[in-house]
Amino acid sequence: MTTTERWIIIIVGAWLIISPWILGFSDEVFVKWSSVLCGIILVVMNVWVLSAEIGTLKK
């Protein structure tokens, strides 16, 4: 994956985190937490990989 693709996935993950409140389904507990947890996983995993890639590029 390219760096651009990773940034796009991070943006999608951030959207998943905030979408329950933006789209108005925050009252649905299971759906809300599914969206938030999936978003967190996407963001954390891709930030981790990006930081590892940047770290290897600097060496």
Q: CA torsion, points 31, 26, 8, 48, in degrees to nearest 10?
A: -80
What mean pLDDT is reported for the chain?
Answer: 92
- Structure pTM? 0.85
- In the predicted structure, residue 19 carries a pLDDT above the cut 90: yes
Q: Which two tokens stand for residue 30?
A: 């299971």
Three-state DSSP class for residue 3: helix
Percent of the chain's residues with pLDDT above 90: 80
- Describe the chain by its helix, strand, coil percentages, rounded to 5: 85, 0, 15
